[in-house]
Amino acid sequence: MPVGTHGAVRGVLPDELQTIGARMILANTYHLSLRPGAGTIARAGGLHRFMGWEGPILTDSGGYQVFSLSNFRKIDDEGVHFRSHLDGSEIFLTPESAIEIQEQLGADVAMILDQCPPYPATREEVASAVERTQHWARRCRDRAKRPDQALFGIVQGGIFPDLREESLAGLLPLGFEGMAIGGISVGEPRSLQRRVVEHLAPRLPSDTPRYLMGVGFPDDILDAVAAGIDLFDCVVPTRHGRNGSVFTRDGLINIRNATFAEDFRPFDENCPCTACTGFTRAYARHLILAGEMVGARLCTLHNLSFYLDLLAGSRRAIESGTFESFRRDFLDRFPRSPETPSARRKTETP
């Protein structure tokens, strides 16, 4: 899912998303509820109509952004008190209000409000977040009313396998329409992240979607697909794109580099996107250096196309039983991402 924080994937229009094969997008409840407000979007006829996207939309619950973006927060069993990063106003988010807001937005998939501890956190802190997430999950399930909106649970538990299993075991009886792994890529080393996903993904229900939140680089995604994950969201392709970091079959390139000044090839010879069929690296470099919006558009569009093609290729390979060789072929050329996670925030900058 490309990320449309403010109800628009940065720089990209819905028909362009469709052309490059996007099926579903994510929008951020935290941002949209502060501006323009869930009421405005409801009165516009819902988020699909407001933003002109006819495909499925998933909204997060806003919890993660409260913990990562807002200026002040106090958390108790009832909910989270925080201040808007826009105007400092005090807001109280509860499991019930998180659901109500998402019902107003009208997404196809809503997420429960969870507590997502940062890394590192003590076992006690993580256990407490698991317990609170469990209570909140039940309250979300009880409040959710829209028959046309799926509700996904979120497994917490940090890097502790037994707490992850405990969290999952608590959520299963609540009958969610999909299950997500949360609390990943919050600062932990990638090797630990991979271990959690490999442990937990096969344990998620296989008859509903398995969603890994906020991950990641192409190699992370292929690893997670191998472990059984179906659904991803990540700001990497869009954020990297508008900064001029471009994904190619041979790895990430920084298009600002002087080496591309007269590189009149496309980003990627075999990519069918608008950027690659009509424009060169030299042109994109020039526009990014000049601060021209079209440069950000081209790099973003290509990166999204690259990610969507990677997942489409994975689906086809799974269907034909060749996923392992597909993954190996990809990783033979595409360098592994560095161990320390970077630029992995799960939300576009406010």
Binding site for a second copy (CB under 8 A): 6-15, 31, 35-36, 40, 43-45, 50-52, 242, 261-262, 264, 274, 278-280, 282-283, 285-287, 289-290, 292-297
- CB-wise, 13 or 226, nearer to a second copy? 13
- CB-wise, 19 or 208, nearer to a second copy? 19
- CB-wise, 192 or 293, nearer to a second copy? 293
Maximum Cα–Cα distance across the chain:
60
Q: Please provide residue 154's backbone torsions phi and psi, each rounded to the nearest 5 degrees.
A: -130, 120
Q: Please state, in angstroms and rounded to a whole number, the distance separating the CA atoms of residues 170 and 174.
A: 8
Strand-pair partners of 101:
none
- CB-wise, 33 or 193, nearer to a second copy? 33
Smallest distance, a second copy to C-beta of residue 296, A: 7
Torsion of CA 212, 60, 137, 188, to 10 degrees: 40
Q: Please provide residue 89's backbone torsions phi and psi, each rounded to the nearest 5 degrees.
A: -65, 150
Smallest distance, a second copy to C-beta of residue 272, A: 15
Catalytic pick among 114, 220, 223, 233:
233
Q: Please state, in angstroms and rounded to a whole number, the distance separating the CA atoms of residues 123 and 191.
A: 19
Handedness of CA 108, 133, 62, 27 (dihedral sign): negative
| Residue 263 known to be catalytic | no
Q: Please state, in angstroms and rounded to a whole number, the distance separating the CA atoms of residues 91 and 174.
A: 28
Catalytic pick among 60, 114, 220, 309:
60
| DSSP codes joined into one string, 312-327 | HHHHHHHHTT-HHHHH
- CB-wise, 185 or 238, nearer to a second copy? 238
CA 152-155-156 angle, to 5 degrees, is 140
Which residues are CB-contacts of 37 (< 8 A; sequence separation ≥ 6)? none
Instruction: State the residue for tokens 């939309």.
Output: 57
Assess contact for 247 and 303: CB atoms under 8 A: yes
- CB-wise, 111 or 276, nearer to a second copy? 276
| Residue 233 known to be catalytic | yes
CA distances from 54 to 1, 22, 26, 262, 300 (A): 14, 11, 13, 40, 21
Catalytic residues, which ones? 60, 233
